[in-house]
Structure 1
């Protein structure tokens, strides 16, 4: 049992929350210690790595990443691949499959895979390698999905043949996200009409907003219900984040975290690329941003620092991403939901994390 100021689906209460693997009950108690804030655990739908390892390494990388992010309040996540050779993607998926099937002790629940490519535009690659980009096919998607459950896929929907894949991916239960796209505003609208559900790291890796050519960003701001954004205050300037917050009802935060997360400055792997952590960000040798070192607790503090109410910031890191995936028993504190809980002090620093009721040790946080 925990007591404090608790964010419920109906708003804040002072009280207690009882749980085992799932939440048993939440009861109001005006005498509860309100110096502790109790929020739903964070749900991160775009994670490449942490603690020196990259999802693309396969093997036990998924376990290490799930444990590293749990210490920062992430209780559920999608292991995110890079655009890479077919053999490399298959190796990563084989490594993720057992972590998805069985949550590692001390780690976040791996809900499935976010396949970031390889079906991208060669004109908007960011840190993705050009030599691994391919035209999408459902045969390949089904092969990957059979190795490990793909829950989201980033697709340059303007590429010939890709628009027709969207309904078929939806039938497999995959959320199609427009991203790494050189498409026009009209291309973005057409993809949404075909069944695309979101946008990958809004503003980054897509055509920007111009009043004559609104681009993919314009399609998102004008029409999207959901989109992910990296709130590290480096990928997107605060003013652009505020514009997206006003335009997109369920804009949600992701980390796009890399192997450099939680590590000292230095050189790390991001798929087949070498990246460099310095001054709190990760870049290619060219100087281009290449993922982040963001954690979800810092994302919460950044959102609050931009002026969001704490409940709104929490929803954008827990409730909205859970709802986007259809995970109705996560991302909220309610009887019957999984006991995915983060407890914060008055500085919004994690003092306790529970994943499906298991206490996560924060000594190395």
Structure 2
């Protein structure tokens, strides 16, 4: 490469005469190699500075997203709280990774730029005239290409993460709208209303929910001679389900192991149950839970009851018996994505 001296270049004119004289003096002494080296040195510095500025700008934008995410509140009472948390955690992890990578990129670009700045007062022509063609800062300068690629990759990754988060928020908003419609329907029973029911009304609700899920109800309420079976229903796959209903006033109170022992002694021998369920709007004692587990009795307490009665999750899904043949009502079929995607 050769400097074209015929090119008309406007020489800087400074307000300070002394500075003008010094500039003209140094320029008059400059050789072609000096001018070429200065240009090459400036170009490398410009690339390093561009990489540094890009990294700084990228960090600022990522930090803005991090601050925005920190202000985003997860609706803990929502049916889809877990899905909200999962989406938020996914975006937060992507932001953390992006910040960590970009901070490292910024540090390396700054170091390279600083090395070039430190070289400026020295012999630039000699810097580019090494016998082996390698100048002292080449290793650092060669990092700039990969660092630029890294900036671009981080920016793409964070954009992808933001898009995933936005799409998930839109999906959840649509599900919230569907859920609001379901909660306002006769197929949903608010847990506070359940707590105010009488034992008879509680049994009637369990029978109603079984019908909602597509089960054929054989017995809709218990009596003094029910032998522990308050509600009996049959699934589409001819599985016989026996419910023992234990209502607790205001949802306060526990079902004890004695109740489980009574149910275990009659549900299968007397009622030929394939699935035995004890359901309460309260809770179960630990001995009751241990007995139920050891005798294959399914338990539905207030938490699971909310999923079944209020939110519309099918009974066998709530119990973790998805492989059992059972149909769902038109209402719960319409809300299918709630169960598959939101967990």
TM superposition score category, shorter chain reference: under 0.3
Q: Which has the higher contact order (CA 8 A, sep 6+)?
A: 1
Between structure 1 and structure 2, the one with the greater Rg is 2
More helix by share: 2
